[in-house]
Structure 1
Amino acid sequence: MPTPRFTASATRPAVLLVACLLALGGCAESARLTVTDGTGPNPTLPTPAKTLIPTVNIAPAKGWPAGGSPVAPAGLRVTALAIGLDHPRWLMVLPNGDVLVAESNAPPKPEGSGGIMAWVMGQVMKRAGAGVPSANRITLLRDANGDGVAETRSVLLRDLRSPFGMALIGERLYVANADAVVSYPYKTGDTVITAPATELVQLPAGVNHHWTKNLLASADGSKLYVSVGSNSNVGERGMQAEVGRAAIWEVDVKTGAHRIYGSGLRNPVGMAWDASGKALWTVVNERDELGSDLVPDYLTSVKDGGFYGWPYSYYGQTVDVRVQPPRPDLVASAIKPDYALGPHTGSLGLASSSGNALGAPFASGMFVGQHGSWNRRPHSGYKVIFVPFQGGQPSGQPVDVLTGFLSAQGDALGRPVGVAVDTRGALLVADDVGNVIWRVSAQP
């Protein structure tokens, strides 16, 4: 595959230095953009906005004031399952009701990697509350008395490598570190695992433009699906740096043999099976530096062998002219995503509505945790939404499930990431700025 050449002016060090200074000062965007919703099966795609410098508009991480919490719709209530965690990113509910939380952050960058752009992003991440060392652990929460508050907290696994996705198959617990999928023996009720890890398959690591790796087990437990984000915005490091990336892998649990299941997915994170258990769905973070209203993040089913455009095109056959040389052959095969979630929403968490007890409006569809924008005016995301399904496909407008993560002053009181439905039908939400696991349940 030819190596793309990234020609945007943002690669020039002098321009990037200006971007650094303006990012810290909260500069206004240099071009007037048309605000568009960018949601649904057929989103409006405006003309790319060409600006001298990339838009940077991060909501500074403040955390919740005493007694503060997100806001749920009428008929639902919000409580804290656990507080005082260390950057909780991802969730998994075990069959016995225990909840696993990956407390994690990005791994250290390789020596000398990234240059000025890495410095810019480092400043952005610090303001977003992500510039802290990774706790590198998985914590187990147990609410034995069913009051919605975990009275037991135990470090199940420690000394991991930026862990994220988790999956249980039989009596093996699988964990996706930033650089490999590993497994451990697990028995129902375990609160600590001391056995050494068994490596199943290595994963692309290195510079780690996108470091999170997620896991989803097949219904029969024979396969693991692993999401691997790109190593760049639009291939500016060359496609050799993208081998195995911007893709979902299918991994044989017995042998570790793997293949690319779906590709051209810039940064797929959350994955879930639909109600039938047959269609794999994912949420994808799309590319940057085309303006505040491009490109919509999206929710889509993933076809075996399907290609979804990155980096050569977006939302089907819309060509990204920054990538040179072009690949019209690949663009022609690009599959249009099923449902747009809005530009720069940071849609990360994904959970099927199956088993939830929140009431009829949430009977069929997907919950999505939107971490929030860092490069859009106005802010987008910073909430949990529900995408209703009909006939196995998204239908209608998204419904807000949790809001209030942004203050009136534009500060981030919290930022939602992973979402999961617990064994009693409540929705759990990992908040990596508030360091809380929120629990959304129906009012008695």
Structure 2
Amino acid sequence: MSRLTLLAVSTAALTLAACGGNEALDPSAGFGPDPTLPPPSRSLFPTVNVADAVGWPAGRTPIAAPGFQVQAFATGLDHPRWLYRLPNGDILVAESNAPPKPEGLDAPAGGGLRGWVQGLFMKKAGARVPSANRITLLRDADGDGTAETKTAFLTNLMSPFGMALVGDTLYVANADAVVAFPYQTGQTQITAAPRKIADLPAQRNHHWTKSMVASADGSRLYVGVGSNSNIGENGLDEEQGRAAVWEIDPATGTHRIYASGLRNPVGMAWQPDSGKLWVSVNERDELGNDLVPDYMTSVTPGGFYGWPWSYYGQIVDTRVEPANPGMVARALKPDYALGAHTASLGLTFGEGPLFPAQYRGGAFVGQHGSWNRKPRNGYRVIFVPFANGAPAGPPQDILTGFLNDRDEAMGRPVGVQFDRLGALLVADDVGNVIWRVSPAQPVL
């Protein structure tokens, strides 16, 4: 069990389903629809509190919430980041990492002190390994909760992340473009050459991941494009088309900005009751341990969510110059805060009969974990209950124990997805494992 401090939605909601029940709650630091946010706190040197990546000792696993169990669905992967379930139940895993930076941009965050700090973080967190540039197919044909088939499904990609199947076409969001491949049900490898659908802003200093979902009718693709900076410090000209969700017509490759002001929109999923698109967003740094909370929100078409001029609605970030009161006045408040610096990446909604009924339609969030907060935050998978298509309660732990007794990272959760039987799969890019969480007893 880690010694992380878990943050609560409010002082009245101190009943997380925490594993072991011994994690202190901090109601000040940002969970829920109306988080208590402190004033900004800045220091001369950025906070560095990185959990060294050490991997899982033999026989060790994360800790599932009471009433649940966890097992390894697949092991021996290479930095598994994102998951997608095909209609026949096969699971696709994007084994991926950041692409090489353009020449002259070797230092993270554009150099300087912040670049040095972020470079230290990446090294300690085990993130600076070459990308496998591969999508692997996992198949559990006998339904025992372990994939007996593991094949290289697509290779020679460019830091792949998001995936979406529409009819017989599989779309893949590389770091620099959306590409398409022909797909036949049951095939375990695709050798066809990619067909480019649309270029995407490639990584320079920040945020290479490109998540993706398709509309219900398959006529549109939605792609999350992160910012190139913390608060636009490299100039807003470099942020054109970034910090946004794109809507792409796959038939023509044309796109429009569907929503903007989202610093790093990562996990995207359709909420089954409302039919709305939801996204998990990583917010800005260097305003203190408890600012700014990452969040998830339903996406209003044409909506603007504040970045870089304001956060959590219309709270002005005075560091951003020149100020822009007009844009601040437009900024929408997110629906639900997910804790400061949790690096909330994965997002999916409960489905199927395997989990108890109270989990259906609620949000499962993979929190990769903080690198610049004391105490550390995240390093867990949480569940947020929903009612009538909106969050309806405090977060609950689903999977914890990713840190050992020395506060080293044995694993870090990223993408979350349900398998064909209804168990929750969790991609762990430090442990190189896909974990499978299911009820300890069958749901009657």
TM-score (norm 2): 0.91
Q: Residue 111 of structure 1 corresponds to which residue in structure 2?
A: 103
Amino acid paired to 1:96? N
Q: In 2, distance between residues paired with 1:107 and 1:165?
A: 15
After superposition, the Cα gap between the structure-2 partners of 1:170 and 1:36, relative to the gap in structure 1 and judged at 3 Å, is same
Do the aligned partners of 1:103 and 1:138 also contact (CA within 8 Å) in 2? yes
Q: Distance in 1 between matches of 2:116 and 2:199?
A: 28
- Structure 1 unaligned segments of length 5 or more: list them: 1-33
Instruction: Write the distance in 2 (CA, Å) between the matches of 1:151 and 1:432.
Output: 20
Tell me if structure 2 keeps the 8 A contact 1:73–1:402.
yes
Q: CA deviation at 1:119?
A: 4.0
Alpha carbons 2:29, 2:37 under 8 Å: kept = no
- Aligned mate of 1:182, from 157, 164, 179: 179
Q: Deviations over 1:230-271 (max 9, x none)?
A: 000000011110000000000012111100000000000000
1:376 to 370, 373, 376: 373
Is 1:291 aligned to 2:288, yes or no? yes
CA drift of 1:50 comes to: 1.6
Report if aligned partners of 1:61, 1:128 keep a CA contact under 8 Å in 2.
yes
Q: Distance in 2 between matches of 1:346 and 1:115?
A: 22
2:263 matches 1:254: no
AA of the residue aligned to 2:403: L
Cα distance in 2 for partners of 1:183, 1:62 equals 36
Query: Which amino acid is 1:115 matched to?
Result: G
CA 1:61–1:297: 2 relative to 1, 3 Å: same
Label 1:431 to 1:263 Cα distance change in 2 as closer, same or farther (>3 A).
same
Distance 1:298 1:427 in 2: 21
> Following the alignment from structure 1 to structure 2, what is the Cα–Cα distance between the partners of residues 277 and 189?
32
Tell me which residue corresponds to 1:59: 51
Q: Deviations over 1:312-345 (max 9, x none)?
A: 0000110000001111001001000000000000
Q: How does 1:271-350 map to 2 (within 5 A)?
A: 271-276=268-273, 278-350=275-347
Task: Please tell me whether the aligned partners of residues 274 and 388 of structure 2 are also in contact (alpha carbons under 8 angstroms).
Answer: no
Per-residue Cα deviation, 1:51-109 (whole angstroms, up to 9, x for no partner): 11111101100111111111112221101110010000000011111100000000111
Alignment of 1:238 with 2:235, yes or no, is yes
The answer to whether the Cα contact below 8 Å between 1:167 and 1:175 also exists between their aligned partners in 2 is yes
Match in the other structure for 2:74: 82
Structure 2 SS opposite 1:405 = coil
3-state SS of paired residue (2:385): strand
1:366: which partner in 2?
363
Letter in 2 for 1:132: V
- In 1, Cα distance between the equivalents of 2:70 and 2:252? 43
The aligned counterpart of 1:197 is 194
Equivalent position amino acid for 1:51 in 2: S
CA contact (8 A) 1:98 1:140 kept: yes
- Give the distance between the partners of 2:268 and 2:213, measured in 1 at CA: 7
SS of the residue 2:63 aligns to: coil
Q: Is the 8 A contact 2:276 2:298 kept in 1?
A: yes
Aligned to 2:246, what secondary structure does the other structure show?
Answer: strand
- 1:369 maps to a residue whose letter is G
- Do 1:184 and 1:198's aligned partners in 2 also have CA atoms closer than 8 Å? yes
Residue equivalent to 2:11: none
Secondary structure of 1:311's match? coil
CA contact (8 A) 1:138 1:156 kept: yes
Task: Report the counterpart of residue 405 of structure 2 in structure 1.
Answer: 408
How many Å apart are 1:406 and its aligned residue? Answer: 1.1
- Please point out which of 208, 213, 227 is paired with 1:211: 208
Q: CA RMSD in A?
A: 1.2
Structure 1 residue aligned with 2:6: none
Aligned residue for 2:211, secondary structure, equals strand
Cα deviation for residue 35 of structure 1 reads 8.0
Residues of 1 paired with 2:29 and 2:203: CA distance?
A: 35
Number of matched residues? 411
CA 1:77–1:35 in 2, change beyond 3 Å: closer, same or farther?
Answer: closer
2:122 alignment partner, SS class: helix
Give the residue type in structure 1 aligned to 2:310: S
Secondary structure of 1:330 counterpart: helix
Contact 1:35 1:293 in 2 (8 A): no
Q: Quick one: which of 23, 28, 38 aligns to 1:46?
A: 38
Q: Which moved more, 1:361-370 or 1:242-251?
A: 361-370
State which drifts further: 274-283 or 127-136: 274-283
2:48–2:372 contact (8 Å) kept in structure 1: yes
Give the direction of change, closer, same or farther, for the CA distance of 1:294–1:70 in structure 2 (3 Å limit): same
Letter aligned with residue 222 of structure 1:
S
Q: Is contact 1:166-1:174 (8 Å) kept? A: yes
Alignment match, 1:7 = none
Q: Deviations over 1:105-132 (max 9, x none)?
A: 0011112212234343222111111110
The residue identity in structure 2 corresponding to 1:44 is T
Q: Given that residues 356 and 427 in structure 1 are in contact (C-alpha distance below 8 angstroms), is that contact kept between their aligned partners in structure 2?
A: no
Structure 1 counterpart of 2:164, from 159, 163, 167: 167
The answer (yes or no) to whether the contact 2:273–2:388 under 8 Å persists in 1 is no
Find the aligned partners of 1:120 and 1:321 in 2 and give their Cα distance.
Answer: 23
Q: Which whole-Å CA distance do the structure 2 matches of 1:208 and 1:82 have between them?
A: 32
- State the distance in 2 between where 1:435 and 1:320 align: 38
SS in 2 for 1:439: strand
Distance 1:336 1:277, change over 3 A: closer
- State the distance in 1 between where 2:417 and 2:80 align: 13
8 Å Cα contact 2:180-2:197 kept in structure 1: yes
Q: Does 1:440 align with 2:432?
A: no
Following TM superposition, by how much is the alpha carbon of 1:295 offset from its aligned partner in structure 2, in angstroms? Answer: 0.1
